[in-house]
Amino acid sequence: MMDDLPALLKRVSRIAFFFLSMGCLGWAVWPELRNVFGGFMIGVVGGLAISWHLAWKLVQLGNAAISGRKPRSGLGFLSRACLGLLAGVISVRVLDFNLAATATGLIVSPMATLLLGLVARSRRSDDHPTDERGEKH
């Protein structure tokens, strides 16, 4: 399972970078909507930071479980919420971007993670756990 996390994080990062490039293209094609595309891109960067933080916390929690020691904290929901809030404040207060577009951008990485996890889970569920190789019927 631990080998799946870097691969999943790489895919999520690629999806986020795709949406960032689409935001840059949208900004270039429709410059009058710069506040929407800018807010979306700030949200995508914030969502990507949240995903990276969660992956780091999962690795820390896994290492603590393997070593047998009690983990110091949970998955850091407060830290991730603060990252999202920081992205929103920077986007709206500092750069005057659209808040709804920023919130949409914040959702991109978690949704990509959810969809990729569901796809990976459905691929694994096709194999029956009692099927063993070499067993004759």
pLDDT higher than 60, residue 16: yes
127 found inside a domain: no
For the chain, what percent of residues have pLDDT higher than 90? 12
Helices 34-67 + 77-89 axis angle, to 10: 160
Look at residue 21 in the predicted model and tell me its pLDDT.
92
Domain count, the chain: 1
Give the domain extent around 30.
4-122
pLDDT higher than 70, residue 130: no
Q: Which residue has the higher pLDDT, 71 or 10?
A: 10
64 found inside a domain: yes
129 phi and psi, to 5 degrees?
A: -70, -20
74 found inside a domain: yes
pLDDT higher than 60, residue 137: no
Q: Distance (Å, rounded) from C-alpha 114 to C-alpha 107?
A: 11
131 found inside a domain: no
Tens-digit pLDDT profile for residues 17-66: 999 899 999 999 998 988 999 999 999 999 888 888 888 888 888 888 88
